[in-house]
Structure 1
Amino acid sequence: MEGRGRRREPTIRLSDVVADCVSRWFQDALREAKNGDISMQILVGQMYCSGYGVPLNIQKGKAWISRAAQCRSSALKVGHKRPGYNASDSDSDDAKDESAS
C-alpha cells in the first residue's frame, strides 16, 4: 500500500521535452544572431531553411545566410546544410575536394 496517498506526477512526453529544447535553442541563437554573431546568423538561417525549432521559412533563412555572408562569404555554402553545419566545416570540405583533383 505504499503507492496510496501519493500524487502521481503528470507524464511528460520526451518528444515534447525535445521540441521545447529545440525551440529554446532557436530563440537563444536568434538573440545572438540579432546581436551580430555570424555563426549564430548562419545557424538561424539553417534552422529557418530546414524548419528545425521554428516553422519552415526559406525566405527568412536565406536572408539570415545572406546577412552572415556579408562578413563570411563561406556562409553561402552552408545555407542548405543541416543546422549546426559550420562554414568552417565547409571550408575543410573544399580543401579535401581540391586535393582529390
Structure 2
Amino acid sequence: METSSSSQREKSRAPLKEVVSECVKRWFKDTLKEAKAGDINMQVLVGQMYYSGYGVPRDAHLGRVWITRASRTRSSAWKVCEKPPGYNASDSDSDELKGES
C-alpha cells in the first residue's frame, strides 16, 4: 500500500535523464569559468566539450578556439582535442607508445 506522501514524492522526482543533463550543463559552466580564469587543463576540457557537444551544443569552431588557447602553453592539447571530455594528453601519449611497440 502506497502512502500519499510517497506517491507525491514519486510524482515530483525528475527523470534521471534530466538530472544528468542538468549536472553536465553545470559541469560545463563551472569548467568554462575556470578556463576563462586561465586554467590550461580546463581550457582543454572546454575545447573537448565543445567538440563533442557535451553539456553544450556542439561547436567545432569554439572547440578549436579553446584548444588553440590551451596549446599556447600545453603543446599536447591538439592530441586530445577531439577525444571525449576528460581524455588527457598523458592518456593519449601512452596510447601512442603502445602502438609503437
TM-score (norm 2): 0.88
Q: Which runs of 5+ in 2 are unaligned?
A: none
- Distance in 2 (CA, whole Å) between partners of 1:35 and 1:96 is 35
Q: 2:43 aligns with which of 41, 44, 67?
A: 41
* Counterpart position of 2:19: 17
- Distance in 1 (CA, whole Å) between partners of 2:73 and 2:93 is 15
Larger helix fraction of residues: 2
The one-letter amino acid paired with 2:98 is K
Q: Which runs of 5+ in 1 are unaligned?
A: none
CA RMSD in angstroms comes to 1.7
* Counterpart position of 1:94: 96
Identity of aligned residues (%): 58
* Counterpart position of 2:3: 3
- Distance in 2 (CA, whole Å) between partners of 1:56 and 1:2 is 44
Deviation by residue 1:67-101 (Cα, 9 ceiling, x = unmatched): 10110110001001001001121122233334x1x
The one-letter amino acid paired with 2:65 is A
User: In 2 relative to 1, CA 11–59 (structure 1 residues): closer, same or farther, beyond 3 Å?
Assistant: same
The one-letter amino acid paired with 1:3 is T
TM-score (norm 1): 0.88
Matched residue count: 98
* Counterpart position of 1:74: 76
The one-letter amino acid paired with 1:71 is T
